[in-house]
Amino acid sequence: MNKGKSTAGFILGIVGLIAWLIPLFGYPVNIVGIIMSATGIKSDNKKFAMMGLIFSIIGLILTLINSILGVIMALNQL
């Protein structure tokens, strides 16, 4: 069962690298990717789980930066 979690975490990590452009989608995709990858590390497919974890963390950081920049831009227009 953990093998599926590591693969799902990897796929969500890749999707999360694209989903950060829209923070509404970026946060849940990357958070679920982190959770799935972290639980999938115990499986035989550790490479996929680690890559998914790294991709999801990078995606989450990019989503956070995008959100902060969006707020800053909105406040500057007031």
Among the residues of 41-77, which ranges form H helices? 46-76
- What ranges do the domains of the chain cover? 2-76
Q: Does position 2 have pLDDT exceeding 70, yes or no? A: no
Q: What is the pLDDT of residue 48?
A: 87
- pLDDT at position 1 over 70: no
Note the pLDDT of residue 44: 73
Query: Roughly how many angstroms between the first and final C-alpha of the chain, as a whole number?
Result: 51
DSSP-based three-state secondary structure for 20:
coil
